[in-house]
């Protein structure tokens, strides 16, 4: 693909759902990052041609959340905006669509990103309960209204958690945690290995926070009560293996996936400004980096966590690159078992032959270069946002370490994977 410049990028702090950002809507979160991303590259809203935002749990009062965010951010009304949903990869999909539009010449400047308020995913009522309320609404007389109310039963007042439905795959019938249990079983991943991985994620994230690395990509969020939130609050600096070992499995009685070795429900948003690589001289500072290649692949929904393996294999096949060509790797930590499973699948020759039509294994994800500042287990995973966050963090990490080439990849609920190749500098 034609390289596309990521001129600037920013995100909000990531916060545990139902916590600090619970009262901040997906629109408000998105508006904050879009405005800040523009400001960081000294670009006015009227310079934007199009806004593309990834979002999974679409707010009922903002059907095209990207359009609402664009207008509230000051982007002129004659500019267009649309929302994309590729589940967990929505924040990547928005950027990839922006890349395609820039390459086609349809736009000169695009803002892309993701936003998610998992706190504000509504509680739902069953079809039977909805019908009961409809009878009340249609009642024309007092007698009819009394009869309609008299037909209510306790079951009609039991809500269904929308977030629970959203995290359950309707094809396989498994929720995301249960798919992680499938991988733990298939790849013989122990509870101890998962907990050790989770612990490392928290320790790396805590170190990055202590060194103020993460603050470089964060814009604070004003709160209605108290001080603005200016840092991630999912990170547990004092996390120990002993604490993790005490947690019970939550998806399978005799399983190994716990709240401690899974990513938490999270609120947050992120945005980047995109431009054609040959048109960056108009900005006051050099780009963060460039998107140089991407691949999207499908896989079994029951083993959706392996999506990065299929997508990375496709990326490598299409570009002629190898895993060793990347200086750093960012892979979303939906679950510890999922990332460990991906690494084992990438190292497996038999998996490569059977599943990827390759004669050789993809290779090992060197732990020294993977998620060096922690991942979603510690930072959180606002599903529509994470793809954008991975790209911003990757490019900043490459620049901070003096390295050049990175791979950002994630699994997608429903059985997909996305892999994106990034570079800080293009070859001349």
Integer-rounded Cα radius of gyration of the chain:
22
Helix or strand holding residue 417 (H, E): strand 416-423
Q: Which of 378, 375, 422 is nearest to 396 (CA)?
A: 422
To the query of whether residue 88 is one of the catalytic residues in this protein, the response is yes
To the query of whether residue 156 is one of the catalytic residues in this protein, the response is no
On whether the CB atoms of residues 250 and 177 are closer than 8 A, the answer is yes
Give 209-213 contacts, CB < 8 A, sequence gap 24+: 209/235, 209/237, 210/237, 213/373, 213/396, 213/397, 213/400
Nearest-angstrom CA–CA distance, 190 and 202: 19
Helix or strand holding residue 296 (H, E): strand 289-298
Does residue 422 come out as left (phi exceeding 0), alpha (psi in the -120 to 50 range) or beta?
beta
298 phi/psi in degrees, rounded to 5: -105, 155
Q: Which of 23, 389, 380, 422 is nearest to 221 (CA)?
A: 23
On whether the CB atoms of residues 122 and 59 are closer than 8 A, the answer is no
To the query of whether residue 342 is one of the catalytic residues in this protein, the response is no
Q: What angle do CA 404, 387, 32 make, to 5 degrees?
A: 105
Q: Which of 88, 99, 263, 299 is flagged as catalytic?
A: 88
Q: What angle do CA 411, 178, 410 make, to 5 degrees?
A: 10
Catalytic residues: 88, 381, 411
């Amino acid at each position: 693909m034609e390289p596309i410049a990521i001129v600037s990028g920013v995100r909000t702090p990531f916060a545990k759902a139902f916590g600090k950002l619970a009262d901040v809507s997906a629109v408000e979160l998105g508006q904050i990052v879009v405005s800040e991303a523009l400001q960081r590259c000294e670009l006015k809203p009227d310079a934007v041609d199009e806004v593309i935002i990834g979002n999974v749990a679409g707010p009922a009062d903002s059907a095209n959340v990207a359009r609402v965010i664009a207008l509230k951010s000051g982007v002129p009304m004659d500019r267009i905006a649309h929302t994309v949903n590729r589940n967990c990869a929505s924040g990547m999909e928005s950027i990839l669509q922006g890349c395609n539009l820039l390459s086609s010449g349809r736009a000169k400047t695009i803002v892309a990103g993701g936003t998610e308020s998992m706190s504000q995913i509504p509680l739902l009522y069953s079809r039977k309960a909805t019908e009961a309320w409809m009878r009340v609404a249609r009642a024309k007389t007092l007698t009819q209204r009394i009869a309609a109310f008299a037909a209510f039963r306790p079951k009609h007042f039991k809500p269904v958690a929308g977030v629970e439905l959203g995290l359950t795959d309707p094809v396989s019938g498994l929720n995301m945690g249960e798919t992680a249990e499938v991988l733990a079983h298939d790849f013989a991943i122990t509870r101890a290995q998962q907990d050790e991985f989770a612990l490392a994620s928290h320790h790396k994230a805590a170190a990055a926070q202590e060194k103020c690395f993460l603050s470089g990509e964060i814009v604070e969020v004003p709160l209605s009560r108290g001080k603005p939130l200016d840092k991630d609050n999912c990170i547990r600096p004092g996390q120990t293996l002993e604490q993790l070992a005490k947690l019970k499995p939550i998806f399978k009685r005799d399983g190994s996936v716990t709240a401690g070795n899974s990513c938490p429900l999270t609120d947050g948003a992120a945005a980047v400004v995109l431009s054609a690589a040959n048109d960056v001289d108009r900005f006051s500072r050099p780009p963060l980096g460039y998107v140089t290649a991407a691949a999207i692949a499908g896989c079994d929904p029951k083993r959706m966590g392996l999506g990065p393996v299929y997508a990375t294999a496709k990326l490598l096949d299409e570009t002629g690159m190898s895993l060793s060509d990347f200086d750093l790797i960012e892979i979303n930590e939906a679950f510890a078992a999922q990332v460990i499973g991906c690494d084992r699948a990438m190292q497996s020759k038999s998996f490569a032959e059977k599943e990827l039509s390759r004669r050789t294994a993809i290779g090992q994800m060197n732990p020294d270069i993977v998620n060096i500042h922690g991942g979603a287990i510690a930072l959180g995973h606002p599903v529509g946002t994470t793809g954008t966050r991975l790209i911003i963090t990757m490019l900043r990490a490459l620049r901070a370490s003096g390295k050049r080439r990175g791979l950002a990849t994630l699994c997608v609920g429903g059985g997909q994977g996305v892999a994106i190749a990034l570079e800080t500098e293009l070859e001349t």
